[in-house]
Structure 1
Amino acid sequence: MTNDKEAQRTAVARGWREATEAALYGPQGFYRRPEGPAGHFRTSVHASPLYAGAVARLLSRLDAALGHPDEVAFVDMGAGRGELTTAVLAALPPEVAARVRVYAVELAERPADLDPRIEWRSTPPVGVTGLLFANEWLDNVPVDVVEVAADGVPRRVLVDGDGAETPGGPVDGPDAEWLARWWPLGPEPGLRAEIGRPRDEAWASAAAAVKRGLAVAVDYAHTRDARPPFGTLTGFREGRETAPLPDGSCDITAHVALDACAGDGAALLTQRAALGALGVRGGRPPLALASSDPTAYVRALTRAGEAAELTAPGGLGDFGWLLQPVGVALDPLLAE
């Protein structure tokens, strides 16, 4: 492994998309490590079982909207080590669990102790009826970074194995068209953007797996009216944010232009709004419960704290939810 890392660190400069692809998903890539993503950062899935409960509630509502088919699918895109897949399966009511077919889509090897009912795949199934759910998947679809150079021209940023950046050639073709439409840059040198076209394509391909039902992407997100002027590319290692180093030693991520991914009929919500519609709220339980049933009060207080974290402004509550319905009405699925 040392030799592989050394080879990566001495590689010639290349675009961030290519470098990230190798660093995350290559033979010695970050996402192929045995500890999985949970060893380095905490998502909503790890923050509270309330999150999986909300996803299970969404699947149950979708099952009803679909007319309770003989088989309803749950597809977990970027499943990590199956944490969300397992928790959703456990949270489903028996009448839905009896008919659900569960898929975990992940490039890493299947965990040895995973529930045998979960089908482990490297690609999503085709033509399913049910729910496809992508929690913090799109932010790890590699993208190229561009920066406005001294001549006022957006140029692709090149990076070597040590993380040192140099300017490359001007952005042209479909990437230039994407920038002009979704992330237009002014002439000021130093302005940066991440070209989200690979994510648009990845999401369209994943969502196409749903023949009837709903596809949901949840992620760090921004929209065209509020793009960050210097981009969002960063790294995470052992629970801390760090400089993005494309050698397989850390996660490399960038926020998602979810509005560019959205197809016809899609809705964009904050996580706070989406979870609220699915029954997750951070209100404190009534104090009277502390006297009548202290144990229940403590449990309710714990749930309230976890709900508050999942829906917090400035934190997880500001995540974006992209909901793409396929042959179903969206409003009944989000009725409180």
Structure 2
Amino acid sequence: MYGPCGFYRRPGGPGPAGHFRTSVHASPLFAAAVARLLCRVDAALGHPADLAFVDMAAGRGELVTGVLEALPADVAARARGYAVERADRPDELDPRIAWLPSPPEGVAGLLFANEWLDNVPVDVAEVDAEGVPRRVLVHRDGTERLGEPVAGAEAEWLARWWPLPAEEGLRAEIGLPRDRAWAAAVGCVDHGLAVAVDYAHTAGTRPPFGTLTGFRQGRETAPVPDGSRDITAHVALDACALPGASVVTQRAALRALGVSAGRPPLALAATDPTAYVRALAGAGEAAELTAPGGLGDFGWLLQPVGVPRDALGLPDA
């Protein structure tokens, strides 16, 4: 995934957007909503001279570019955009955006991780015939076999966050590396808000056979670790959450940020047909971003850092 010839670092090609569709690619309404969230963070921080927007797993920089473009002029003048990504910097990227392999430390502002944690590698555990959770070992061609029993900190994580009944074949993805990665990212924010957005599950909705899968050229595929495809698994966001955090749906978060799928009034079609068509298209895009059973069911992990949650106008869990 992240090696020199891994999926995310292969030179040329369309990048991740050529293989799967995220909220960033679905509509510019998403970046505009994140820009409004950054403005709320800015106000909660007292309008600092340097306001950071950190885009984790930035891909080709689509989100950070869209957020900076959507900011009001007075906020944009103080905003600093950071794209955190292992791949090479795109040639056409706005020169104002810093391209970094790891998040900057000590920032004040908004750190936003859209579909990052699902690509942080995790081990998979499977229950064997004796009811023992064992690590799943995978060959380069995707074939699997069971390895040693899960032990130590990983066994403790399973017991707390994803306990497996002693039934052969049940699986879990051990999210400990994601918990640690998220804690490290949040630790880079001195004051502000950190947000992780992903397809997720919580303690009451863990899938019995896990969620590990692959994506290539827009289609779901077997998760073969040969560098030709994205390999992903849903995120246990409740396990990642640090004290003071909450998890809400994308639907609730975007509605609180002004994204509405309501149809424009028909009267607008008579007075301004162009505006009506534009508003209708926007409503369709908003519907996709907030759809039940789709992007709207994604989880938003909201982690305030040194700012009161109430000042951000975000929904409760």
TM bucket, shorter chain = over 0.9
| Cα distance in 2, alignment partners of residues 167 and 310 from structure 1 | 39
User: Which runs of structure 2 are paired with 1:308-319 in the superposition (5 Å)?
Assistant: 308-319=287-298
Match of 1:31 in 2: 8
CA distance in 2, matches of 1:334, 1:236: 35
Residue 239 of structure 1 is matched in structure 2 by 218
Deviations along 1:292-313, one digit per CA (max 9) or x if unpaired, are: 1111100000000000000000
Q: Shift of residue 335 of structure 1? A: 5.4
2:53 alignment partner in structure 1: 74
**Structure 2: 5+ residue stretches without partners:** none
Q: In structure 2, which of residues 53, 62, 65 is the aligned counterpart of residue 83 of structure 1? A: 62
Aligned residues: 313
Give distance in 2, aligned partners of 1:230 and 1:268.
Answer: 23
Q: Does 1:203 align with 2:176?
A: no
2:130 maps to 1:154: no
Is 2:32 the counterpart of 1:53? Answer: yes
The residue type equivalent to 1:272 in the other structure is: R
SS of equivalent to 1:25 = coil
Give SS of 2:122's match.
coil
Q: Residues of 1 paired with 2:6 and 2:314: CA distance?
A: 41
Stretches of 4+ aligned residues off by more than 4 angstroms:
none
1:178-206 deviation line (CA, Å, top 9, x unaligned) = 00000000011010000000000000000
- Which runs of structure 2 are paired with 1:1-336 in the superposition (5 Å)? 24-33=1-10, 34=12, 35-334=14-313
Contact 1:212 1:326 in 2 (8 A): yes
| Gap runs ≥5 in structure 1 | 1-23
Alpha carbons 1:131, 1:214 under 8 Å: kept? yes
Q: CA deviation at 1:63?
A: 0.4
- Secondary structure of 1:291's counterpart equals helix
Q: In the TM superposition, what is the alpha-carbon distance from 1:332 to its structure 2 partner?
A: 2.7
State the Cα deviation string for residues 60-109 of structure 1 (Å, max 9, x = none): 01101110011110000000010001110100110100001110000001
Q: Is residue 82–residue 104 contact of structure 1 (8 Å, CA) maintained in 2?
A: yes
Q: Which amino acid aligns with 2:284?
A: G
Residue by residue, what CA displacement relative to the aligned partner does 1:26-69 show, whole Å, maximum 9, x if unpaired?
11000012321011001000000000000000000110111001
* Residues 147 and 192, structure 1, Cα contact 8 Å, conserved in 2: yes
Distance in structure 1 (CA, Å) of the matches to 2:121 and 2:256: 32
Measured against aligned partners, the alpha-carbon deviations of 1:137-180 in whole angstroms (never above 9, x if no partner) come to: 00000000010001100000001011000010100000000000
After TM superposition, the score normalised by the length of structure 1 is 0.92
SS at match of 1:58: helix
Contact 1:274 1:334 in 2 (8 A): no
CA distance in 2, matches of 1:84, 1:140: 17
Contact 2:253–2:314, Cα closer than 8 Å, also in 1: no
Partner of 1:12: none
Rounded to whole Å, the distance in 1 between the matches of 2:209 and 2:63 is 32
Deviation at 1:273, TM superposition (A): 0.2
